[in-house]
Chain A
């Protein structure tokens, strides 16, 4: 068990677009019918499913992250959170943080999220987005 939390393993991988999209959709309670849209959302993040750049596959790791893909990752979380606003069950910041980022974010981020939650108490989608947009959520 400790090995999972070792420095070598814990948040040592960048989520691939497929992982990021799947986890985001699960977090926003989206249904499975939007799967083609979900696949399409991965393309601007640098991954077209079943269409790797060459036979070696996707290089992964830091190659998922550039200025364009990072903005796309964050904007996708925003759009997904907005879309699911109506169907979402209310969750506290503590619950969101626990499920999505292992209740382990930097103190600055924790303070920032708490401040957002306090200032926008009626905005469940906004809060969910803020958690999904953290650097911590970009990693596995």
Chain B
């Protein structure tokens, strides 16, 4: 039991000691650099999955965080030049995708359905004033979000550094981990 604490000439009662400890912990937590760091992996390259890593990283930067996105496998597409023109979303194997007209699984796989689904999603997002992928990429670069391309996937899929938009960095798993271990917020998308 703690009734009072003596430091030099000063005596503190229990309530004061608890308050001081609480304030010191709060102060230390605010200084924790890991609380201000977000490391996100973007592993998917379809139009629908392009949004979450870009929305979260730009929102993190807006909240004063030091954010980085590591693009690997199909996620690499997001930072290639002209991605938005080529981006597609497929109704195949994507039963939760809201379609204006219900499409049976058999027809979902028919040629042309991907184009239909893609233009539907683009027009829906546009109508609701959701930022485009291009706009989000611009915001990310303007607000200091680090965009890192996975070197191994680049080599496997045959990408050249010139295939990517300006400002992209290149790195591997160790580069990501070295940042991620210093971040409280890490996401695999």
Do A and B belong to a common assembly? no
